[in-house]
Structure 1
């Protein structure tokens, strides 16, 4: 059985990450409080945000912005939307 963690995004016990996804204290916090599913969902949203906003992660303000969006995502707060994105759940067949 895989390790579990109480996911702060979904407020339930879920499968845990295998290792810390980031170095340092922030990585350990994520490892202890975020499920594998929530992390995978964040990675998809993060990619869309970086691409849509054409962020350069070499710039400290871009990294800070992405980390702020990540905190909002895991705390179930509103994150910046990606313009033009339509969720597959919102698409209806004609």
Structure 2
């Protein structure tokens, strides 16, 4: 049986992450409050932000920026978007 979690992003019971996605307390908190789907959606946005804004993951300021955006994303607050990103159209 699949483990579920009440997702703070989508406000419903959804499939849980199988393990903490980050080390330490923050990773455990995310595993306990964020669904697998929300984490995958965040990873897609994170990738666009890194690429479009040319973030350097060795730079502490870039990492802090992404952590802030991640918390805003999971809390359903406005987040920065990749300028020029056009989502793929869905076939009808």
When normalised by structure 1's length, the TM-score is: 0.92
Cα 1:84–1:91 change in 2 (3 A) is farther
CA drift of 1:88 comes to 2.6
Gaps of 5+ in 1: none
Equivalent residue, structure 2, for 1:3? 3
Moved over 6 A (4+): none
Instruction: Describe how 1:36-75 pairs up with structure 2 within 5 A.
Output: 36-75=36-75
CA drift of 1:86 comes to 1.5
- Equivalenced residue count is 92
The whole-number CA distance in structure 2 between the counterparts of 1:3 and 1:36 is: 10
Q: Deviations over 1:29-50 (max 9, x none)?
A: 1000000000000000000000
When normalised by structure 2's length, the TM-score is: 0.94
Comparing 61-70 and 79-88, the one that deviates more: 79-88
Instruction: Describe how 1:15-94 pairs up with structure 2 within 5 A.
Output: 15-89=15-89
The whole-number CA distance in structure 1 between the counterparts of 2:68 and 2:34 is: 16
Q: Deviations over 1:30-83 (max 9, x none)?
A: 000000000000000000000111011111100000000000000000100111
The whole-number CA distance in structure 2 between the counterparts of 1:79 and 1:90 is: 23
Gaps of 5+ in 2: none
